[in-house]
Every structure is written in C-alpha cells, then in structure tokens.
C-alpha cells in the first residue's frame, strides 16, 4: 500500500522568502511522485513530476523538488515566494506501473506582503 504525508496543513511565508513544503511517502515499489497546485476555485494543476530520471526536478513557476530515496521524501521548494503562489499544494504518489494516484492531505500556503 502507498501513502503520502504532508507535514503542515498550513504554511505562512513572507513575500520573497523561501517556500518549503514537505512530503514523505511510503511505497513498496519504486514510485512516481507528483506535486499539484490548486488555486482558489480551480482544479488541480501539475507543478512537476519525478519519474525515475533526475532526482532534482524543476517545474513551473520556479518550483523544484528533490527525490531522496533514503529519506522517502519529495519536498517542494521555491527560493522566493510571490503573492501569486498563494494556493493549496498536493503531493501525490503512484506506482511506476500503476494508474491510481494517492494524494497527501494538502498544504495551504499563505504569502504575506
């Protein structure tokens, strides 16, 4: 069975500060990992994905995430937060040959001016 844990349901950052969202997973087989973003009143949009290539993955809007197998982590970072980054972020895992995503509980990001 797979599971995803996102530490912190809410994160508050100042504009220009580092954004760090934590995600840990458990999977019995090598997984693919995703970060999705949900802006208010919208559907989920893919930020980036790890599919067993490079462990440091760059996504849209300046976000990146690093896959660390030894820590079973896939934390999301952005060096400098913008007001437009205020949204909810979801980490998700899927088995490499699977078709069913398992989502974390989400982290809502608030950006302070």
Partner 1 sequence: DAGVIQSPRHEVTEMGQEVTLRCKPISGHNSLFWYRQTMMRGLELLIYFNNNVPIDDSGMPEDRFSAKMPNASFSTLKIQPSEPRDSAVYFCASSLYGTSGGNEQFFGPGTRLTVL
Q: Residues interacting with partner 1, by CB under 8 A?
A: 32, 34, 36, 42-46, 49-51, 90, 94, 98-101, 103, 105-106
> Do the bridges between strand 44-50 and strand 10-14 make them parallel or antiparallel, or are there none, so unpaired?
unpaired
Q: Which is closer to partner 1, CB of 14 or CB of 45?
A: 45
C-alpha–C-alpha distance, residues 73 and 65, integer Å: 9
Shortest spacing between CB 94 and partner 1, in angstroms: 6
Shortest spacing between CB 70 and partner 1, in angstroms: 21
What token pair was written down for 62?
């300046």
Q: Which is closer to partner 1, CB of 31 or CB of 81?
A: 31
Q: Which is closer to partner 1, CB of 16 or CB of 105?
A: 105
Phi then psi dihedrals of residue 61, to 5 deg: 60, 25
Q: Are 91 and 72 in contact (CB under 8 A)?
A: no
């Amino acid at each position: 069975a797979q599971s995803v844990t996102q530490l912190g349901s809410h994160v508050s950052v100042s504009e220009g500060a580092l954004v760090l969202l934590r995600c840990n997973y458990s999977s019995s087989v090598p997984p693919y990992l995703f970060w999705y973003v949900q802006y208010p009143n919208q559907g989920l949009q893919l930020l980036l994905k790890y599919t067993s290539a490079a462990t440091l993955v760059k996504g849209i809007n300046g976000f990146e995430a690093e896959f660390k197998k030894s820590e079973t982590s896939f934390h999301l970072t952005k060096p400098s937060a913008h007001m437009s980054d205020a949204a909810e972020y979801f980490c998700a895992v899927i088995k490499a040959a699977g078709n069913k995503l398992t989502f974390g509980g989400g982290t809502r990001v608030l950006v302070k001016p």
